[in-house]
Amino acid sequence: MASPPSCAVLWTLFLLLIPTGSWLKGAECRFRRQAEKDVDWPPATFFIFGDSYFDAGNNNYINTSTLDQANFLPYGETFFHFPTGRFSDGRLISDFIAEQAGLPLVPPFLQPGAEENCYGNGVNFASAGAGALVETFQGWVISLRRQLSNYRKVERLWRHELGKREAKRAMSRAIYLFSIGTNDYFTLFLTNSTILPSSSHSSYVAMVIANLTTAITEVYGGGGRKFGFLNLGPLGCLPGLRILQPEDNGGCLEEASRLAELHNEALSKMLRRLASHLKGFKYSLYDFNSHARQLMNEPSKYGFKEGRTACCGTGRFRGAYSCGGRRPVKKFELCENPNEYVFWDSFHLTERAYNHMADQMWAGAPPLVKPHNLRHLFRN
């Protein structure tokens, strides 16, 4: 009988079978130079930070629960026809924005092979369940702080490939899109956390905004100048929080919605302050809150049939977070046509709703989008 191979032999075979780009992340990447000398490289690049509204699959690659994953059917059924990790039946707002900007789908940072062209089109750092606070669903998600750490890896790679000066110039042309904060407030209602007394709402919001401010100024310090933001939707009106109300009350959970309003007021004020103090700082702020309310309250005006009940889930408003049957609640129902619904599951929107909102973010005008829309940021 032949003797088993030694550890050294096995290790050598292992190294030969591992693609170099995955083993030494970024070590073999090379920017693809443009043939025309007058074309800048990299082109306008798209960096995406946030939560499940933007997560394109990063949570597929971390040790977490199915509560923070969407890598199973019926997620993805409409456009991709298979689950990608996106929390929708298809594409997300960030996917549509990339398309408007002439970019391919921006890959998740953790997706194998994403670094092959040095992230020349950008990269998506978002993680479902993440918040601005490190403590939000800690240990189950990629926090905003960790997302910034991953961004710094890309920044270092660019400096290595392009040189410090050219890398900073490329960073200044990039667009940085954020959707963050929702989970910092969800955790107060969906876990065993003690609900905040009203007197503490403002101080809690101030903590969330302070962490987001730190992230923005860190990106700015590395060269970032053009930023996009969604404010928070009417949180208490999402199907997953509506069901926390008594059965004879089909209204919104007002305490959650009030926290979102306080957050949005503070976010708007903070961005105006940064724009007045940071040279070259430009931003686009989309009023997700007011437009989501319009879609929920007047769905037919925008071509939808249902604005309050989710397409996928169970119970009242299909608000039980069971879509796909892979979560603690196994039973779920699925609508026939997601295009008729604003909500896909208990907390997330359908591809059609996201497409509609992305159009507004790209080309909209005040008061819905201000002071700039994303088209202006990408093209100027």
Tell me if residue 348 is catalytic: yes
Report the alpha-carbon distance of residue 269 to residue 274 in Å, rounded.
Answer: 9
Catalytic residue among 345, 346, 356, 372: 345
What is the DSSP pairing of strand 312-313 with strand 333-334? antiparallel
- Looking at the DSSP bridge assignments, the partners of residue 306 are 341
Cβ(305)–Cβ(328) below 8 Å: no
Report the alpha-carbon distance of residue 299 to residue 371 in Å, rounded.
Answer: 27
What is the DSSP pairing of strand 46-50 with strand 333-334? unpaired
Report the alpha-carbon distance of residue 8 to residue 245 in Å, rounded.
Answer: 62
Q: Find, among 323, 136, 321, 297, the residue nearest to 239 by Cα.
A: 321
The 3-state DSSP class for residue 65 equals: coil
Report helix, strand and coil shares of the chain as percent, to nearest 5. 45, 10, 50
Half-sphere exposure of 363 (CA within 13 A, CB side): 6
Tell me if residue 149 is catalytic: no
Hey, how many other C-beta atoms are within 10 angstroms of the C-beta on 62? 14
Q: In the numeric block, which tokens belong to residue 15?
A: 């190294």
Tell me if residue 257 is catalytic: no
Catalytic residue among 51, 52, 143, 346: 52
Cβ(66)–Cβ(326) below 8 Å: yes
Catalytic residue among 201, 348, 356, 372: 348
Cβ(97)–Cβ(362) below 8 Å: yes
The catalytic residue positions are 52, 345, 348
